[in-house]
Amino acid sequence: MSERGIKPSNQPALADFKVSVDTVIFSVDTQQNRVLVLLIMRRDDPFSGQWSLPGTLVRQGESLEDAAHRVLVEKIRVNNLYLEQLYTFGGPHRDPRESPKSFGVRYLSVSYFALVRFEEAQFIAEGVSGIAWYPVKQIPSLAFDHGKIIEYGYQRLRNKLEYSPVAFDVLPDVFTLSDLYQLYTTVLGENFSDYSNFRTRLLKLGFLADTGLKASRGAGRPASLYRFDAEAFAPLKDKPLVFL
Amino acid sequence: MSERGIKPSNQPALADFKVSVDTVIFSVDTQQNRVLVLLIMRRDDPFSGQWSLPGTLVRQGESLEDAAHRVLVEKIRVNNLYLEQLYTFGGPHRDPRESPKSFGVRYLSVSYFALVRFEEAQFIAEGVSGIAWYPVKQIPSLAFDHGKIIEYGYQRLRNKLEYSPVAFDVLPDVFTLSDLYQLYTTVLGENFSDYSNFRTRLLKLGFLADTGLKASRGAGRPASLYRFDAEAFAPLKDKPLVFL
DNA sequence: CCAAAAGTGTTTGAAGTACACCCATGC
DNA sequence: GCATGGGTGTACTTCAAACACTTTTGG
């Protein structure tokens, strides 16, 4: 922002960019203990036939968030998800289209981080070809630097779980405390806390409302169903709230 | 990244971008209890004559970090600072140069967050006109959306202080425990902890090495000088380390 | 000797850790 | 009744908050 719009001829040439918005969409299958990422099979060059993150190039008059939402709604048909900006990858040579033939155009990617409820997740990829959920532990080789973006996003997911209520964007509206615990162990690993202590701490925080309903799942005592109470949580926002 | 390089005519037009890198550089004057931001007076349009963040437009073949460093080294002559990416602001109409006349070119800003030691900070702005340190509490009206970027950066600074050792990127190599405490109160406010408790906690963490030297500053008992021991800190990296 | 700044110690209560144990259901 | 998963309680330890007190300097 410190150079002139019309550049004097003695100034080095500015780079021209196309900007893509690529989103790492996570979902968690607590039953099978897996964190999932939504991938899309590319149909066009470059990297045609390879898996990649869902994304698009930003159009005229469109904001970054708009572009992200456009892909989510039009292409993947996802609504109501948690979305936040992740990181911007902008080095040269990250896109093979950056050849001299294309007049030196650079491709920059603003990545986003998103979470979907697993219930909704299931029928997103269903039947449609060229779109699939992959476990984070088994991501195939991806187009561009999308592998790196996923790693970065996964790191963010683990961090966020510890100090923010993102868990409730992944869980269904109504859930049991073991669902919640399962989610945490799936993402964070086994050794973060004892179930009993996790339970007491979370309930003491006071933003889990008991619905009075019970969930009976095969054998064992039926579990109480809880709902996340956003209002009760509000005062705790910005506090150094620790779930771990 | 999901559209073709050569767009079919039935596709909506992609936006063309220039990308700027703008850096919020913080320093902390613990003596005067002030957090400072480095600002630059713009000489060119748009916003000529207004204060702004140091930044530049990315050139051909240059990475984002490269561009950030170029400004820091060439224009501001700062070396050895902590630097990390902050956020990317890319909505349309954030730059007045985005007129129809300029063929719809958009301006996107990737912002960075940086910290300088106050010792070095002082002589950066010294004598040179059009460059100055402003207390965060008294930032004037800025060019573009730079005011918003600073707010975002200041938030980051406060967060980072609580869980990462950025303090030692701001303090001199060798410092007293009250220097450290001063830094924290300056940024976080008075009520975060008692000096005596702060002291015990920090020393117990074990990454502050006593140099054996003493600092005598006027009246009062001389203070021990400490040095940040990066090796001793390494194992604590990524841990939910809390300074607060 | 007194003020100023650095550094130590003690008391108290809250919170986390690691368990052992009781409860309700399906088969 | 017994295996299975849900839920409660307790003893132990660690840690943070508050504050009183000692030490070393300059004047």
User: Of the given ranges (B120-124, B170-174, B180-184, B226-230), which has the lowest mean pLDDT?
Assistant: B120-124
What is the identity of the amino acid at B59? R
Task: Judge whether A26 and A78 are in contact, CB under 8 Å.
Answer: no
Task: Judge whether B95 and B144 are in contact, CB under 8 Å.
Answer: yes
Cα gap A221→A217, rounded to integer Å: 9
In this structure, what are the phi and psi dihedrals at residue B118, rounded to the nearest 5 degrees? -65, -35
Task: Judge whether A135 and A35 are in contact, CB under 8 Å.
Answer: yes
Cα gap B134→A1, rounded to integer Å: 20
Report pLDDT digits (tens) over B108-154: 999 999 999 988 887 777 667 789 999 999 999 998 899 999 999 99
Measured between CA atoms, the residue of chain B closest to residue A107 is: B1
Q: Which residues of chain A have pLDDT under 50?
A: 1-8
DSSP three-state, residue A68: helix
CATH topology of domain B16-147: Nucleoside Triphosphate Pyrophosphohydrolase (3.90.79)
List the single residue in A3, A63, A104 with the smallest CB-CB distance to B91. Answer: A63
* Buried/exposed A55-64: b ≥16 CB within 10 Å, e otherwise: bbbbbeebbb
- CA-wise closest residue to A106 among B8, B16, B84, B7: B16
Strand C contacted by B219 CB (< 7 A): yes
* Buried/exposed B195-218: b ≥16 CB within 10 Å, e otherwise: eeebbeebeeeebbeeeeeeeeee
- CA-wise closest residue to B152 among B65, B56, B94, B87: B87
Which of 107-126 (A) contact B at CB < 8 A? 107-110
pTM above 0.85, yes or no: yes
Asked whether the predicted pLDDT for residue B184 surpasses 90, the reply is yes
Report pLDDT digits (tens) over B10-32: 677 899 999 999 999 999 998 89
Edge-to-edge strand order for the sheet containing A223-228?
A174-175, A223-228, A208-215
CATH topology of domain B166-236: Arc Repressor Mutant, subunit A (1.10.10)
Length of chain B: 244
C-alpha B183: how far from chain center: 15
**Does residue A70 sit at the B interface (CB-CB below 8 Å)?**
no
CATH 1.10.10.10 in chain A is located at: 166-236
User: Mean pLDDT in chain B?
Assistant: 88
Measured between CA atoms, the residue of chain A closest to residue B18 is: A16
**Does residue B231 sit at the A interface (CB-CB below 8 Å)?**
no
Q: Which nucleotide is nearest to B214 (CA to C1')?
A: C6
